[in-house]
């Protein structure tokens, strides 16, 4: 089946620093990728939709200048958390839709756990 990877799987950083998270589709091309955030014991919350070659579409309440998304190729999308603060500590998950997926089946990455000290 289709595989989506994320790197790093976990990261600890100091407050004020920026952190980049990569999401890669390993065996398919993904025109659309999604970024989610999940707080403990809560469900996933969509942050933004990333389309290859165009600007990301952010959900209401998500600061686009704080969460920079770049979908520069059909297999890679990156999420950069800029000037991270402890409240940004969360589990970040990406998903991808293959270009030829029947009816838009999504494949999820393993997630990245971010801890901001």
Chain positions 44 to 103 lying near other proteins, rule: CB under 8 A, are 44-46, 49, 91, 93, 95, 97, 103
Q: Is 34 in the site for other proteins (CB under 8 A)?
A: yes
Q: Which is nearer to other proteins, 7 or 113 (CB)?
A: 113
| Cα angle: 9, vertex 14, 16; to 5 degrees | 115
Q: Which two tokens stand for residue 93?
A: 């998950």
The distance of closest approach from Cβ of residue 45 to other proteins in the complex, given in angstroms and rounded to an integer, is: 8
* Residue 13: CB atoms within 10 Å: 16
Q: Is 19 in the site for other proteins (CB under 8 A)?
A: no
């Amino acid at each position: 089946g289709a595989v989506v990877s994320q790197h790093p799987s976990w990261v600890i950083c100091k407050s004020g620093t920026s952190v980049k998270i990569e999401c890669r589709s390993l065996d398919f091309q993904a025109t659309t990728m999604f970024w989610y955030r999940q707080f403990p014991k809560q469900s996933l919350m969509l942050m933004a939709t990333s389309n290859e070659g165009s600007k990301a579409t952010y959900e209401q309440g998500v600061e686009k200048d704080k969460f920079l998304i770049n979908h520069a190729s059909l297999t890679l999308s990156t999420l950069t958390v800029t000037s991270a603060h402890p409240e940004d500590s969360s589990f970040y998950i990406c998903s991808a839709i293959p270009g030829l997926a029947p009816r838009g089946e999504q494949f999820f990455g393993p997630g990245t756990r971010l801890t901001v000290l």
